[in-house]
Amino acid sequence: MIFRSVEETVAWGESLAGSLVAGEVVALVGNLGAGKTHAVKGIVAGMGSKAQVSSPTFTLVHEYDDGRLPVFHFDFYRLDQPGEVIGIGWDDYLDAGGVVVVEWADRFADLLPEGTKWFEFSIREDGSREVVVGTRKEG
């Protein structure tokens, strides 16, 4: 899939949200600026939330619970060890009945459950974004 604008990336996330059910995990992989957070904005909006979405790079997780399902938005970018992920309540979030969305998910791929939906984002030479449905990444 090729997205030529932020709006197209957000719209893709909104569309994806319609297919997500409680307990699902969405893994987003790609370099800085590739569109991961814009996709999350779409997922959260697609759940019916009115929240302002931002990257949880420093807070590590944001919770959006005013939509059809809660969305737990993680960012693994600043984490160095799997124990740090576990320490912020990872297992509790997986069991909380919402949708878990993880940016930089490939950093700790082994912590993501079987059935995780993987998407790899990249920036093309013309500045557009490409998203490829992926497979489990090794962390």
3-state SS, 23-47, equals CCEEEEECCCCCCHHHHHHHHHHHC
Strand 61-64 relative to strand 71-75, pairing: antiparallel
Reported pTM? 0.92
pLDDT digits 0-9 by tens, 24-33: 999 999 999 9
Burial of residue 109 (number of CB atoms within 10 Å: 0-12, 13-18, 19+): middle
pLDDT digits 0-9 by tens, 51-88: 999 887 777 899 999 999 999 999 999 999 999 999 99
d(CA 127, CA 21): 32
2-133 has CATH 3.40.50.300 classification: yes
Specify whether the CB–CB gap between 29 and 106 falls below 8 A.
yes
